[in-house]
Structure 1
Amino acid sequence: MTTARPASSRRSRTRANGDGTIYQRKDGRWEAAGYVLAPGNTRKRVRVYGATRKDAMTKLTEKIAASNRGLPVAAADSTVSAYLVYWLDGVAVHHLRENTHTRYGAAIRLHLNPGLGVKKLARLTTRDVRAFLDGLRTTCQCCTQNRDAVRRTCCAIGQCCDKRLSPLTVTYVHAVLKSALEHAVREDELPRNVARNVKTTTPRPQRFQPLTAAEARQFLRTAADDLLHALYELALRTGLRKGELLGLHWEDLDLDSGTATIHRSLQCTRTQGLTILNTKTLASERRIALPTECINSLKIHQEQQRGERQAAGPGWTDNGLVFTNPKGRPLDPGNLTRRFRRLLHKAGLRTIRFHDLRHSTATLLLEQGVDLVVIKELLGHAHIGVTAGVYAHVRLRLQRHAIDTLGTALGQGADAPDDPPTAAVVR
């Protein structure tokens, strides 16, 4: 006689309405299926797979949860455009910083959707991606995005400006597409990432023109009378990024021991405006030693800020920032760039980017023979390969010094004794 299964056991294996179904396939994998919100405010049945019951159930639960939040869940039979919307607003938004998310959205809106948006995700091929990227490289973007029709310029008047995307932008658009398709592969929506099969040429790194030692001295002499003298001293003597300088708080500085803790950055975001965020990577969080010149200039700046606080009175915004406007509010990065360019003009120096002060710091340290590991820690690079790659160039003076050193060795007289031969060790 068979024993009836307890009612509690039967109820525990019964899934609630809307939770979907799950079962094990003949090939051993688990398949889960359920109805979710699709583009066009419709409902569709999606299937996900996993090596275990838990894996499959987790994937389905995530899709249903996103659907309940009102996010359309794209699947392989949807268009590339629909999947990119799902990926950007339902997946990437949770692990990207706001500015990066905005740049991803611009790449999708301006390039990926017009070029590949109508294609079915499951039918997207390597040839489609290659043809799309080739079109980005060779097509005038004013004509592609119909800017000329609105402004009555370019092709609209028969004089194409031939404005093409830079190789760096094409590579960036390709990277966004690869990231989206890689997530589709992880969710078992696609068997492979076709964008990875397309190789793009590595764009040439942007050449920068760091200040020479003489130019750096001239810049600091001119900046001595500027209200932001301490900021320029820090930028050139420590290599801090613009956002790290503007996000620096007094509590981050220990002027007695001569150190600074870098763990925040000022960023301008679309929704919050000027806001203080954590540094982008863990390696960017660091503690650096402050030169004596920076300590002295910071003490002078601190006294200057106390005077501004008293002059502003109740209008002062006390946020603890080291560098502020006369009302205590954060300095706008764009305004700092304009002030920096005026200072360069006043010093009689060529125009460079503010970020080139950071490059100047590293280059000058390399010229003085400072170890690459020390420079990497000072700049806050994640890997020493980044430091070595950015500063792989060797300035002409260093090349000449190396060649002259070798020439001296090879030009010794015939009577000059050679180094003793090195004994070979035989094992």
Structure 2
Amino acid sequence: MGKGYMAKILIGRYEATIYREGDGYTGAISLGFGPDGVRKRIKRKARTKREVKDKLIEAVGDLEKGIKTETNHTVAQCVNDFLTYGLKGKSDNTLKVYTSIAKNHIIPRIGRVRLKDLNVDHVEKLLQVIAETKSTETVRRTHNLLVRSIRMAERRDRVGRNVAALVDPPEGVAGRPSSSLSLDQAAKLVVVAQDPKWRLGAYVVLSLMSGIRTEEARMLRWTDVDLEKAVVYVLRADRHRGDTKTKKSRRGLSLPQVAVAVLAAHKAQQAGERLAVGELWQENDLLFCHRDGAALDAHQVRAEFRKITRAAGLGDRWVPRELRHTFVSLLSDQNVPVERIADLVGHANTRTTETVYRHRLRPVITGGAEVMDTIFGTGSETPGSKSA
């Protein structure tokens, strides 16, 4: 069916033409000619004249607001733009997390929706579906990614309203509460982790015996460690700009002798790997890295850690952050006061320690490395051989 019906109308100060085309109607507004002599037009299509007129009115409204409406710009394009340009300076881990959320949740479900057509219902239904099987943290990150992506599109005049910001994300599935290893379990883990076949055995021992965060351990450099003085300095984390979580998280920690011995062996093993790869070695000065010196991400650490816990007969349900919970629990069992524990784990105050680790603390009345030496022994003794 060709063009038949044609009408001219005024929309604000613009003259529009609506004409029949195919099985519906097309509306066009002439914006004159550009510097290149090419005629500039806004066109909208719909099944009825009324729908075309409404779309033209909306287009004129956007035009007068300075919004450069791109009718085919989709949610997928919007989110991908943000992943490309909106996360500059963020850690590699942050980029991987948001990319995974976009790939697995947003794009498959609403990626084809045109950004200008996205509404609150789309966003609420998306988040509700995710909340049925995923954690609250995943739901909130998905919402955050949508809000920030559309906000960037707003700044670029591609959309007039951020509908995602109008939605309150629902609660997701309750995650498994963090647990801590018992003394017997921790002792088994320390013994198994010292086997040279585990490239992250030293990571496990250091994390358990110092209480550092997993994001801090991944960023440790050899210049941060003094094995002669048995000290490790926590100065950065795998976070935005490499900053630690709080100012108090920047701290120096004395190391128990077991951890010093394990780190010394790890350093020697890493030196051998460096010689083996030669020019392929990536000089990052990292304590814990791939065989070529490249940085590790959280997923890789978690996978290796679970291999070690399985070998220790502890199963594979454990995650690296629970080494920190174990550190707090063991110190509390040894009557270390909460104020001292807060200092050791880098909390700004005891309230944080009491809130996050309330199930690990006991109300009592003494320091980290000395206690760990008492628990696990200092030399050839088997960790855990001393009574707690």
* TM-score interval, smaller chain: 0.5 to 0.7
Q: CA deviation at 1:200?
A: 0.8
Separation in 2 of the partners of 1:87 and 1:309? 38
Q: Which of 181, 184, 208 is the equivalent residue of 1:211?
A: 181
What is residue 257 of structure 2 aligned with on the other side?
293
- Do structure 1's residue 249 and structure 2's residue 221 form an aligned pair? yes
2:347, 2:353 within 8 Å by CA — same for their partners in 1?
yes
Q: CA deviation at 1:74?
A: 6.5
Separation in 1 of the partners of 2:230 and 2:175? 35
Separation in 1 of the partners of 2:267 and 2:162? 61
What is residue 104 of structure 1 aligned with on the other side?
98
**Which structure 2 residues correspond to residues 65-144 of structure 1 after superposition, within 5 A?**
78-90=73-85, 92-122=86-116, 124-137=118-131
**Which structure 2 residues correspond to residues 331-350 of structure 1 after superposition, within 5 A?**
340-350=305-315
1:230, 1:294 within 8 Å by CA — same for their partners in 2?
no
Q: 1:304 to 1:114 in 2, by over 3 A?
A: closer
Which secondary structure state, in structure 1, belongs to the residue aligned with residue 246 of structure 2?
A: helix
Separation in 1 of the partners of 2:286 and 2:342? 26
Q: Which amino acid in 1 is paired with 2:168? A: V
2:91, 2:241 within 8 Å by CA — same for their partners in 1?
no
Q: CA deviation at 1:341?
A: 4.1
1:219, 1:347 within 8 Å by CA — same for their partners in 2?
yes
What is residue 170 of structure 2 aligned with on the other side?
200
Q: 1:195 to 1:249 in 2, by over 3 A?
A: closer
Separation in 2 of the partners of 1:204 and 1:96? 28
Aligned length: 302
Separation in 1 of the partners of 2:118 and 2:312? 56
Q: 1:199 to 1:263 in 2, by over 3 A?
A: same
Which secondary structure state, in structure 2, belongs to the residue aligned with residue 198 of structure 1?
A: coil
Q: CA deviation at 1:339?
A: 5.5
List runs of 5+ in structure 1 lacking aligned partners.
1-41, 50-59, 64-72, 139-163, 268-276, 402-427
Q: Which amino acid in 1 is paired with 2:242? A: T
Kindly indicate whether structure 1 or structure 2 has the higher relative contact order, using CA contacts under 8 Å at least 6 residues apart. Answer: 2
Q: CA deviation at 1:237?
A: 0.8
2:90, 2:241 within 8 Å by CA — same for their partners in 1?
no
Q: Which of 345, 355, 371 is the equivalent residue of 2:321?
A: 355
Which secondary structure state, in structure 2, belongs to the residue aligned with residue 105 of structure 1?
A: helix
Q: 1:391 to 1:196 in 2, by over 3 A?
A: farther
2:232, 2:255 within 8 Å by CA — same for their partners in 1?
no
Q: 1:362 to 1:215 in 2, by over 3 A?
A: same
1:260, 1:290 within 8 Å by CA — same for their partners in 2?
yes
Q: CA deviation at 1:207?
A: 1.7
Q: TM-score, normalised by structure 2?
A: 0.57
Q: 1:184 to 1:345 in 2, by over 3 A?
A: closer
Which secondary structure state, in structure 1, belongs to the residue aligned with residue 174 of structure 2?
A: coil
**Which structure 2 residues correspond to residues 406-421 of structure 1 after superposition, within 5 A?**
none
What is residue 240 of structure 1 aligned with on the other side?
212
Which secondary structure state, in structure 2, belongs to the residue aligned with residue 94 of structure 1?
A: coil
1:248, 1:323 within 8 Å by CA — same for their partners in 2?
yes
384-393 or 246-255, larger mean C-alpha shift: 384-393
Separation in 2 of the partners of 1:85 and 1:310? 37
Listed one character per residue, the Cα deviations across residues 245-265 of structure 1 (whole Å, up to 9, x for unaligned) are 354332211234432222356
Identity of aligned residues (%): 23
Q: Which amino acid in 2 is paired with 1:108? A: A
Which secondary structure state, in structure 2, belongs to the residue aligned with residue 209 of structure 1?
A: coil
Q: CA deviation at 1:173?
A: 1.9
**Which structure 2 residues correspond to residues 396-415 of structure 1 after superposition, within 5 A?**
398=362
2:328, 2:360 within 8 Å by CA — same for their partners in 1?
no
Question: How large is the Cα RMSD of the aligned pairs?
Answer: 4.8
Q: CA deviation at 1:82?
A: 4.0
Q: Which of 163, 170, 194 is the equivalent residue of 2:139?
A: 170
Q: Which amino acid in 2 is paired with 1:261? A: Y
Q: Which amino acid in 1 is paired with 2:250? A: R
Q: TM-score, normalised by structure 1?
A: 0.53
Q: CA deviation at 1:368?
A: 4.1
Q: Which of 215, 221, 233 is the equivalent residue of 1:261?
A: 233
Separation in 2 of the partners of 1:361 and 1:256? 23
Separation in 2 of the partners of 1:85 and 1:306? 38
Q: 1:300 to 1:172 in 2, by over 3 A?
A: closer
